[in-house]
Amino acid sequence: MSEQTCPTCSKSLATEQGMRQHHTKVHGIPLPNRTCGECDEMFYDPKARRVYCDDCYTGAGEQNGNWQNAAETTDCRRCDTEFEYYPSNKDGVFCSDCVERMNEFIGTPSHEGKVTEKVTTPCEQCGAAITMRKSKRNYGSGRFCSRPCLAEWQSENWRGEGHPAWDGGWNDERIRNWTKVKRQTLERDNHRCQNCEASVEDLGQEPDIHHIVPLREFDDPTRAHTLDNLIALCRACHMRIEHGLEQLPERNQ
């Protein structure tokens, strides 16, 4: 293999690759490695794959890397002039000349000429005026002028029977004597989990109170809140037992 000479400093190198690396590192300019398919000028491409130089490449038509000679011919729907187009999801409609003069025959775009009817209504919380499109108001928007007003209204109105999730409220029978029997259960069980024996100090809080026979199985809720049906459990043991992942010790059943 013949020696290669650097075109800038005339240094001789053993290989063409070595000469190119030398020119890039020493002189800061990579040497051309491609010939443009349009103008025949040499240019540099880092991946040595491009066909056209920067001056000739447009990325369209035959110069596109995905070119498959896909141009089709049709007649302009306005002037009947034949023109070429590249199909995508729809056929060609107007030639380039008609596209340039489209405002002359299409007219003002609908979004520019449409007059939107607006209405003004008071905020249901503070009474401030709210102006919006009538169509938006018809869909139920615009009752409140701001999130704070919405939150304040919900705080005042979404309570008790006024709350959309209201289902009759607490059943007095269900909670009768609950505080008393809960305290008695904790005292009986020494404020410890009866499964893992973790104390209040270990847990950082009082244990949960678990219904051995679930509350939902009682027609009379007061019968579920009895000492023989309650047991103190830490949160972790409570969840495992509730989901059937663990059983209560024999002595507690």
Tens-digit pLDDT profile for residues 11-35: 888 888 888 888 889 999 999 999 9
The predicted model scores a pTM of 0.34
Residue 181 lies in a domain: yes
pLDDT score for 253: 45
Task: Compute the average pLDDT of residues 222-243.
Answer: 88
Identify whether residues 124 and 89 lie together within a single domain: no
Residue 220 lies in a domain: yes
**pLDDT tier, 252 (very low <50, low <70, confident <90, very high otherwise):** very low
> Is 129 contained in some domain?
yes
Q: Is residue 163 part of a domain?
A: no
Tally the C-alpha atoms within 13 A of residue 201's C-alpha that lie toward its C-beta.
Answer: 1
Residue 102 forms part of a structural domain:
yes
Give yes or no: residues 16 and 50 share one domain: yes
What's residue 179's pLDDT? 83
pLDDT at 75: 87
Domains identified in the chain, total number: 4
Closest listed residue to residue 1, CA positions, set 15, 22, 13:
15
Average pLDDT of the residues of the chain: 80
Q: Are residues 225 and 201 in the same domain?
A: yes
143 and 182 part of one domain: no
Among residues 96, 38, 27, the alpha carbon closest in space to that of 63 is found at: 38
List the domain range (segments joined by +) for residue 151: 118-156
Q: Is residue 214 situated within a structural domain?
A: yes
Confidence of residue 115 (pLDDT cuts 50, 70, 90): low
Q: CB within 8 A of 80, min separation 6: which ones?
A: none
